[in-house]
Amino acid sequence: MTAQPSAPADRMTELVEVIQKLSQARDLPTVQDIVRHAARRLTDADGATFVLCEGDHCHFVDEEAVGPLWKGQRFLMANCVSGWAMTNRRPVVIEDVFADPRVPHDTYRPTFVKSLVVVPIRTIEPIGAIGTYWATRHRATDDEVRLIQALADTTAVALENVRVITELEDRVRARTAELESSNRQLVAANCELMAAQQQADRVFAAYAKVLPGSVLDGKYRLDEELGSGGFGVVFRGRHLGLDCPIAVKVFRPVAGNDSGLDLQRFLREGATAARISHPNAVRVLDSGVSSGGVAFLAMELLRGRSLGRERAAVGALPLRAPPPSPGPLPTCWPRPTARASFTATSSRTTCSCTTTGAGKS
């Protein structure tokens, strides 16, 4: 049933409200709902349709009417009044649908429609149309046509907003999917790295177990494991040429320190340590790579107890200050460097306290 006619001022007020609603629409269904309802109320029509241009067809996407019209159907532009309005880029006003040759009579005959107004959505390259229909013969006024055209112009802006928002949301979703995929790849790579690390640890642990009894470079015999760290395993050994006890540190080639550069750094550290001579510094006697490919450092063997045993005997070291040096600091180092070196090294189980009470790192 047709709504009661509204005063022009009321219609303009309602149009402003509709424009505000369309400006806030974020998707096509919302735009459709606002437009089909507003088109009827602004013109006191018995029905309204929301039509989109799809190639050479008109798609009746939505409708609001006293009886069924063509919702969901598609018609060729050339055989449709909405298509005529879009093709000619101007409104169509028809008082008697069965007296106008532009109207496909067979399509309209099953409906209640006697009169209509169809306006294009966007006059430059129209993207759709809004149709309003009356169940009795009605000659639409100029004001009614202007109202519907204003609604169509606002709808064009709303549809463009929806297009932009949809594109942005699609980009965000695509970017999110890329980031999630990259994150999954990083997690998988990290798991593989951890698995490789664990496998390398197992392999090296097994290798370290068979090293006792072997001889490096024909002169350093490995007898038993004393301790291990991130870069190697220390063995009690013997210098066969001099027939004296020594400590031998074997390089641990695991993920993260298995490159040639890391090996060179290991050997460089040994060469640097060999130049230091001090009662509180362990003497490095030799370094190299055996014929079997084992990188090693041959060092002075300390007789004493590990840091772990020392802490068990005297208690935990203070957290806020470095522990006191057990003896004179090496004069070859600046004092802050020497104390930092002692503090850092003393956190490892390979640090020893000699039987004389002096610590060596």
Tokens linked to 169 = 């949301």
Quick one: 43 exposed, middle or buried, by C-beta within 10 A (0-12, 13-18, 19+)? buried
Contact at 8 Å (CB) between 132 and 148? yes
CA distance 188 to 233: 30
Residue 124 neighbours by CB under 8 Å, 6+ apart: 89
CA distance 122 to 313: 89
Residue entry with tokens 């009417």: 65
Tokens linked to 222 = 């490995």
DSSP per position, 281-305? SPPEEEEEE-TTS-EEEEEPPP-EE
Single out the residue of 205, 217, 241, 234 nearest to residue 300, CA to CA. Answer: 234
CA distance 359 to 80: 99
Pairing of strands 352-354, 74-76: unpaired
Residue 193 neighbours by CB under 8 Å, 6+ apart: 255
Single out the residue of 278, 215, 276, 281 nearest to residue 250, CA to CA. Answer: 215
Is 249 annotated to bind ligand?
Answer: yes
CA distance 201 to 37: 72
- The phi and psi torsions of 277 (rounded to 5 degrees) equal -130, 110
Q: Measured at the alpha carbon of residue 310, what is the angle toward residues 305 and 316, in degrees to the nearest 5?
A: 160
Residue 88 neighbours by CB under 8 Å, 6+ apart: none
Q: How many Cβ atoms sit within 10 Å of the Cβ of residue 333? A: 16
Which residues sit in the known binding site for ATP?
Answer: 249
Which residues sit in the known binding site?
Answer: 249
